[in-house]
Amino acid sequence: MELKQALEQLETLQKKLYAYQCASSSLYLDSVTVAPKDTAQGRGVALGILAGEQHKLFAGPEVGALLDVLGERGEELTFSQRRQVEELSRRWRQISRIPAQEYMEYARLTNEASDVWHKAKEGNDFAAFRPVLEQLVAFNRKFAGYYDPDKAPYDALLNEYERGVDTAYLDRFFAAVRDKLVPVIRAIGEREQPDDSFLYLEYPVQGQRELADYLMEVMGLDRAHCGLGETEHPFTLEFNNRDVRITTNYDEHNLASSLYSVIHEGGHARYELNIQDDIQYTCLAGGVSMGVHESQSRFYENLIGRSLPFVRAIFPKLQELFPAQLGKVTAEQFHRAVNRAQPSLIRIEADELTYCLHIMVRYEIEKQLIGGTLEVKDVPETWNRLYKEYLGVDVPDDTHGCLQDSHWSGGSFGYFPSYALGSAYGAQMLRNMEKEFDVWGPVGRGDLSQVSAWLKDKVHQYGGLLTPAQVVKNACGDFDPSVYTDYLVQKYSELYRL
Ligand code: ZN
């Protein structure tokens, strides 16, 4: 085969895969936004077919042969083409090991599981979710062997979300985090908490919508290319670098919830919108890994969004929108309130300091579930025990316990640690930024352009062109969790005058 012809085939293949992805994503977006409640079944049929077609398109021997041809002529390819071939070859080896039947069954199962989980969570009924979770765990254990038969199953799954990360790496990381943070959390427990009651007054949705619009403007998110919708759980979904959708949830009695979810998802969107044009519609479009993605969202949410300079910058707008609720509050009081640290039950409402401990609970459970040393029936008990041990809180029921997150129902095992790693990467990026330019002067004026430009330059533009480890190295230097724990210890020592 001529090289030119092979490259054309490569491009066509990736565009077709992109089209299938768009179709599945559109159905998903519809299901969580405007679709009526009991419509999952028919959509499941369609999603199952789409997944099957996608599998057929990609997993066949012709694709393997094409990738082999291109792999052998690597020296004649551009860097981007070589990376595409590398990435697709890796995925092809994995996916071609999964029998088509299993692949489709799994797609159907995850679609159904989301519904079952929703109802189980609403009704505090773990027993209803248990059989589905057992199947999901069994599938993932099996898939782990397809992904990388040489790795322990949980390591193989972790590697899917963050290449190069395994349990040995995470055990070290979490141990460092626990050693440094637990004493601070204990010390804060003995301090007086700041008053944050004004965050829970009534905040009409209309005002919160205007606030979301304003925040997107501050983040430089062009509304012609980035939509904002409303869903129960906020998320970001990207079609390409000119079409990204984020969602939020407005709680009339919790101002910080939507405020920070818009900034968080906005951080994900900033990443996707900044990825270079040349790699669109290829397997390298999109953020490089979950950990790097979370480093961006949590960077904007916490390191910038919960800093005093940023709060001061947006506070006049908050007072303008909510004069009755915030008229007598100062920016400094608001800053203390949104940084209140207290061990709690719900991960997505957790503060920046205790957040990692929530992740550690899930990590321990996943490690044992996928490792085969914990049975699904014992998840609630283990969950409750670990919450008591790590956070010192009693879990009243499974709705506020092991049924709170959607990840497992979506088949995502190994995803949670990305949140913690992302937070740690972000802290290192901030430190490097501070060495290069004045971060806080402009941020204090509500100007995030330099911060965004730095992130675009070091992280965003590359998409999957570099590996996650290369991107982290590029932006952080050598990974050092103590930068993250030092940042937290210093921040909270100041806030609580420890
Ligand atoms: Zn996120």
In the prediction, which pLDDT does 112 show?
87
Whether residue 159 is contained in a domain is answered as no
Q: Rounded to the nearest whole angstrom, what is the distance from the C-alpha of residue 268 to the centroid of ligand 1? A: 7
- For 206-232, what is each residue's pLDDT tens digit? 999 999 999 999 999 999 999 999 998
Whether residue 156 is contained in a domain is answered as no
In the prediction, which pLDDT does 349 show?
86
Q: Rounded to the nearest whole angstrom, what is the distance from the C-alpha of residue 19 to the centroid of ligand 1? A: 24
User: In 3-state terms, the chain is what percent helix, strand and coil (to 5)?
Assistant: 70, 5, 30
Q: Rounded to the nearest whole angstrom, what is the distance from the C-alpha of residue 267 to the centroid of ligand 1? A: 8
Whether residue 443 is contained in a domain is answered as yes
In the prediction, which pLDDT does 44 show?
84
Q: Whole-number mean pLDDT of the chain? A: 95
Q: Looking at the 3D structure of the chain, how many domains does it have?
A: 2
489 burial via Cβ count (<10 Å: 0-12, 13-18, 19+): middle
C-alpha to C-alpha distance for 231 and 236, rounded to whole angstroms: 11
Domain CATH number, residue 480? 1.10.1370.30
Residues 128 and 193 in one domain: no
Residue among 86, 160, 238, 265 flagged as catalytic: 265
Whether residue 429 is contained in a domain is answered as yes
Q: Which two tokens stand for residue 66?
A: 């094409």
Residues 90 and 15 in one domain: yes
- For 486-496, what is each residue's pLDDT tens digit? 999 999 999 99
In the prediction, which pLDDT does 98 show?
87
Whether residue 157 is contained in a domain is answered as no
Q: Which two tokens stand for residue 427?
A: 């802290």
Q: Rounded to the nearest whole angstrom, what is the distance from the C-alpha of residue 212 to the centroid of ligand 1? A: 17
- For 438-478, what is each residue's pLDDT tens digit? 999 999 999 999 999 999 999 999 999 999 999 999 999 99
Which residue in this structure is represented by tokens 């637990």?
A: 182
- For 271-289, what is each residue's pLDDT tens digit? 999 999 999 999 999 999 9
Q: Rounded to the nearest whole angstrom, what is the distance from the C-alpha of residue 381 to the centroid of ligand 1? A: 27
High-pLDDT (> 70) share of the chain, %: 100
Q: Rounded to the nearest whole angstrom, what is the distance from the C-alpha of residue 365 to the centroid of ligand 1? A: 21
Residues 141 and 240 in one domain: no
Tell whether the model's pLDDT for residue 1 goes beyond 80.
no
Of 90, 115, 150, the one marking the end of a domain is 150
Which domain range does residue 400 map to?
Answer: 167-495
High-pLDDT (> 90) share of the chain, %: 89
Q: Rounded to the nearest whole angstrom, what is the distance from the C-alpha of residue 405 to the centroid of ligand 1? A: 13
C-alpha to C-alpha distance for 120 and 413, rounded to whole angstroms: 19
Residues 243 and 363 in one domain: yes
Please, are residues 465 and 161 in contact by the beta-carbon 8 Å criterion? no
One DSSP character per residue, 468-488 reads HHHHHHHHHSS--HHHHHHHH
In the prediction, which pLDDT does 238 show?
97
Tell me the β-bridge partners of 472. none
Residues 123 and 203 in one domain: no
Residue 124 gets the label, from left (phi > 0), alpha (psi -120 to 50) or beta, of: left
Of 121, 150, 179, the one marking the end of a domain is 150
Q: Which two tokens stand for residue 73?
A: 């002529």
Tell whether the model's pLDDT for residue 164 goes beyond 90.
no
Q: What is the mean pLDDT of residues 342-359?
A: 94
Q: Residue 14: name the closest of 241, 391, 285 by CA.
A: 285
Q: Rounded to the nearest whole angstrom, what is the distance from the C-alpha of residue 293 to the centroid of ligand 1? A: 7
Q: Rounded to the nearest whole angstrom, what is the distance from the C-alpha of residue 287 to the centroid of ligand 1? A: 12
Residues 277 and 393 in one domain: yes
Q: Rounded to the nearest whole angstrom, what is the distance from the C-alpha of residue 422 to the centroid of ligand 1? A: 9
In the prediction, which pLDDT does 24 show?
94
C-alpha to C-alpha distance for 12 and 275, rounded to whole angstroms: 21
Residues 361 and 441 in one domain: yes
Question: Maximum CA pair distance of the chain?
Answer: 74
Of 150, 181, 210, the one marking the end of a domain is 150
Residues 235 and 97 in one domain: no
Neighbours of 120 (CB within 10 A): 22
Residues 115 and 220 in one domain: no
Tell me the β-bridge partners of 243. 240
One DSSP character per residue, 160-184 reads HHSTT--HHHHHHHHHHHHHHHHHH
Annotation says 265 is catalytic: yes
Residues 417 and 452 in one domain: yes
In the prediction, which pLDDT does 99 show?
87
Whether residue 402 is contained in a domain is answered as yes
Whether residue 161 is contained in a domain is answered as no
Residues 477 and 344 in one domain: yes
Residues 126 and 206 in one domain: no
Whether residue 162 is contained in a domain is answered as no
Q: Rounded to the nearest whole angstrom, what is the distance from the C-alpha of residue 323 to the centroid of ligand 1? A: 31
